[in-house]
Every structure is written in structure tokens, then in C-alpha cells.
């Protein structure tokens, strides 16, 4: 007998098995990743979302803390075809509801065809479909969660000492691997809160201003957008994922919500300058609709959405995907070499023809 229920925005109710009890609500999304479930579950960009795994078995190589991208699980709930006990026990300890015995093939096709949607979840021995529907009824749209940055950002600056260029990383929900990738190149990294002010940046006196990935609508990260407006042309700028969107908005561009986003570890990206295709990890539900003052240098092979924006004149480089992806692929790690090189006065940024 089912003891868990998913109430979908479509009006459907999906029966499931409880693996971690509780109630939850959020935007229902899916990832096609077949490895990296620990990294996905601790990725701050999944804040306020219910993560469905397309791959049928999640947990077949255990749970190891050294793979985590943050110190907690960020999706509000987890859906799978089958979860191992290791993952179920971890999510139970984290207080994150989880269900399995779901036909995730059907659910993923539903999201693909109808788009990401709100969902309510109730799981446990006393759960009812009405409990799930009650969660759905109070679930906000992602664009309405104006304070989502506060849920995923550091409260105070955090410093990682290095002997190389100084990077001020604005934490809109940064993955730990971004810091690791910069410090591995000897960068001196100071992580600033998502709502950092120009005065906070001045205290760091960085060589590069970096806007991180993060959850939700980029329009809700006004402080980070203001920093870009303040320092463009004065400091080199870099960004990943939401960071690309924030920078584009600040430089005269615009963003829009995608139907179901890009989430997985096998997204093909073509470089317009070299015609080379690399495989990338992605996790975003918004995209740049208009690049503004920036040049589109890379595009998604599947839908032509912008994956890289550069400007030689403004000293800006951004990527929509995650070059630091763990466990992989690692096709684009050289992006961080380019970020560190921004501090070199003789550096050059190649742009698309």
C-alpha cells in the first residue's frame, strides 16, 4: 500500500513509498544525471525545489561527505524510482522528505511536456492525498521567493588564503567546488554574502569580482546586479550559472524562465570561436534571453541558448554551465585558468566572430 503522495499542479496525485517522512512543497524538476547524486543533493541551486532523478537507482555507491557541495541537503524533497538505504537514511537524518517506487519515466515526461510545476508532498504512515494537496495550495512560484539568496548564502565574509590574485566571490548559492577550483590555482578568495555592498567589495580590494551560481529567479538578486553595474569597466568580472544571468541583466540584457531547464551531466555546448563541443554539467531553470553588451561565445547544442558570454572591452567572462563540475565531466576546467588570468594586465579575451 502507498504511504506517500505527490500532488501535482496539473491536478494529478501520484502514489509512492516513503523513504524519509515529512511534508514538503516546491518546484518539481528533474535531473538526467546518473552519477553525482551527493553533489546534486547538496547543490544550493536546488533550494526550494523537489528533485526527481531520471536515473532509476540512486545510491548505488553510498554516501561520502567529501563529495558534498555544501553542508546540507538543499532540495525540499526527493523523488526516485528506487533509493538505497544509505541515501534514505541520510535524507531522514537531514529531515528532507524522500519517496520512491514512482514511475519516474512517466513523471519526467510529464515535466518535459508541461514544464516545471509546483508540487506538494506528504510522506509517512499517516500521510494522505489531502495533506499533499494542502502543501501544493501554499507553494509559491520560484519567482516569488524574493529572499531565496538569504537561504543559501554566507552571512559574513569567509576568507581562503592564497598567494595568487584576489577574487571576491559573491555567494548567491555557490558550490564548494567553485572555491576549490579557484584555490587550486592559488587564488586568494573571499566569499561575500549575496547582498554584499560596494563597501564590502572595497574592503577586499579584489583583482576579480565573481558572481556565483544560485537558485531561483536572477531578478531577485538585485544587490549582486548592482555590484556588476558599479564595477564593470573597473574590475574584471566573471560568473557561473545564475552569475551569468545576473551579469547579463546588469549590462543591458534580460533573462527568462525556461520550460523545464537544463539539469544533468551530459549537456553539449558548442564554442562559436573554435566549433569545438564539450560536455557539461548544468543546473538552471532560467536563461539569458538578451546578452545586452556581451557577446555570445558558446551555445547549447540542443536549443541554442547562451552558454558563454564574453566581452574583451569590458573584461567579462561568464558560463551558464558548471566548469567545476564534480564528479564530472571536466572538459571545461580551464575556465578557472581564464578567471585567474583576468588579473593579468596583459590578458586577452577571445570573442566570437
Q: Which of these is catalytic: 38, 47, 135, 324?
A: 324
- Nearest Cα neighbor of 91 from 102, 103, 81, 76 is 76
What is the distance between the terminal CA atoms of the chain, rounded to a whole angstrom? 60
Task: Consult the annotation and say whether 245 binds a ligand.
Answer: yes
- Nearest Cα neighbor of 128 from 4, 36, 26 is 4
- C-alpha 332/C-alpha 344 separation (Å) is 20
Q: Which of these is catalytic: 74, 262, 284, 322?
A: 322
Backbone angles phi, psi at 37, to 5 degrees: -65, -30
Is residue 241 annotated as part of the catalytic site, yes or no?
A: yes
Backbone conformation region of residue 154, classed left if phi is above 0, alpha if psi is from -120 to 50, else beta: beta
Q: Which residues contact 91 (CB under 8 A, 6 or more apart)?
A: 19, 20, 41, 73, 78, 83, 97, 98
Is residue 139 annotated as part of the catalytic site, yes or no?
A: no
Q: What are the counts of helices (DSSP H) followed by strands (DSSP E) for the chain? A: 10, 19
The DSSP secondary structure of 48-89, one letter per residue, reads TEEEEESSSEE-TT---GGG-SSSS--SSEEE-SEE-HHHHH
| Surface-to-core class of residue 252, CB atoms within 10 Å of its CB (0-12 exposed, 13-18 middle, 19+ buried) | exposed
Task: Consult the annotation and say whether 326 binds a ligand.
Answer: no
String of b and e for 44-83 (b: at least 16 CB within 10 Å)? bbbbbbbbbbbbeebbeeebeeebbbbeebbbbbbbbbbb
Task: Consult the annotation and say whether 286 binds a ligand.
Answer: yes
Task: Consult the annotation and say whether 91 binds a ligand.
Answer: no
Is residue 66 annotated as part of the catalytic site, yes or no?
A: no
Task: Consult the annotation and say whether 252 binds a ligand.
Answer: no
Q: Which residue has the cell 592564497?
A: 162
Q: Which of these is catalytic: 69, 172, 241, 307?
A: 241
| Measured CA angle at 117 (ends 87, 321), to 5 deg | 65
Task: Consult the annotation and say whether 115 binds a ligand.
Answer: no
> Which positions are annotated as active-site residues?
241, 322, 324
Pick out the residues of the known binding site for L-glutamine. 45, 214, 216, 242, 245, 283, 285-286
Known binding residues are 45, 214, 216, 242, 245, 283, 285-286
Amino acid at each position: 500500500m502507498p504511504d506517500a503522495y505527490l500532488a501535482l499542479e496539473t491536478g494529478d496525485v501520484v502514489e509512492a513509498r516513503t523513504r524519509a517522512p515529512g511534508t514538503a512543497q516546491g518546484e518539481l524538476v528533474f535531473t538526467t544525471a546518473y552519477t553525482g547524486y551527493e553533489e546534486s543533493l547538496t547543490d544550493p541551486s536546488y533550494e526550494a525545489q523537489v528533485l526527481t532523478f531520471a536515473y532509476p537507482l540512486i545510491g548505488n555507491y553510498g554516501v561520502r561527505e567529501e563529495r558534498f557541495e555544501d553542508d546540507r541537503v538543499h532540495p525540499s524533497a526527493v523523488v526516485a524510482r528506487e533509493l538505497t538505504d544509505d541515501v534514505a537514511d541520510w535524507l531522514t537524518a537531514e529531515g528532507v522528505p524522500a519517496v520512491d517506487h514512482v514511475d519516474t519515466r512517466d513523471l519526467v515526461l510529464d515535466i518535459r511536456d508541461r514544464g516545471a510545476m509546483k508540487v506538494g508532498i506528504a510522506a509517512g504512515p499517516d500521510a494522505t492525498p489531502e495533506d499533499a494537496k494542502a502543501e501544493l495550495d501554499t507553494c509559491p512560484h520560484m519567482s516569488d521567493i524574493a529572499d531565496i539568496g538569504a537561504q543559501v548564502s554566507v552571512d559574513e565574509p569567509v576568507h581562503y588564503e592564497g598567494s595568487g590574485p584576489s577574487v571576491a566571490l559573491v555567494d548567491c548559492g555557490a558550490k564548494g567546488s567553485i572555491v576549490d577550483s579557484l584555490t587550486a590555482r592559488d587564488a586568494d578568495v573571499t566569499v561575500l554574502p549575496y547582498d554584499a555592498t560596494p563597501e564590502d567589495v572595497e574592503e577586499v580590494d579584489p583583482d576579480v569580482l565573481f558572481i556565483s551560481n544560485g537558485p531561483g529567479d536572477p531578478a531577485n538578486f538585485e544587490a549582486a546586479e548592482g555590484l556588476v553595474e558599479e564595477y564593470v569597466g573597473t574590475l574584471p568580472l566573471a560568473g557561473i550559472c545564475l552569475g551569468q544571468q545576473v551579469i547579463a541583466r546588469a549590462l543591458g540584457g534580460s533573462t527568462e524562465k525556461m520550460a523545464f531547464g537544463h539539469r544533468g551531466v551530459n549537456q553539449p555546448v558548442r564554442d562559436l570561436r573554435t566549433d569545438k563541443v564539450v560536455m557539461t554539467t548544468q543546473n538552471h531553470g532560467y536563461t539569458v534571453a538578451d546578452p545586452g553588451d556581451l557577446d555570445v561565445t558558446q551555445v547549447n547544442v540542443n536549443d541554442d541558448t547562451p552558454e558563454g558570454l564574453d566581452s574583451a572591452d569590458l573584461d567579462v567572462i561568464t558560463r551558464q554551465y558548471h566548469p567545476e563540475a564534480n564528479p564530472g565531466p571536466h572538459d571545461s576546467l580551464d575556465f578557472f585558468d581564464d578567471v585567474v588570468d583576468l588579473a593579468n594586465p596583459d590578458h586577452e579575451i577571445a570573442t566570437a566572430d
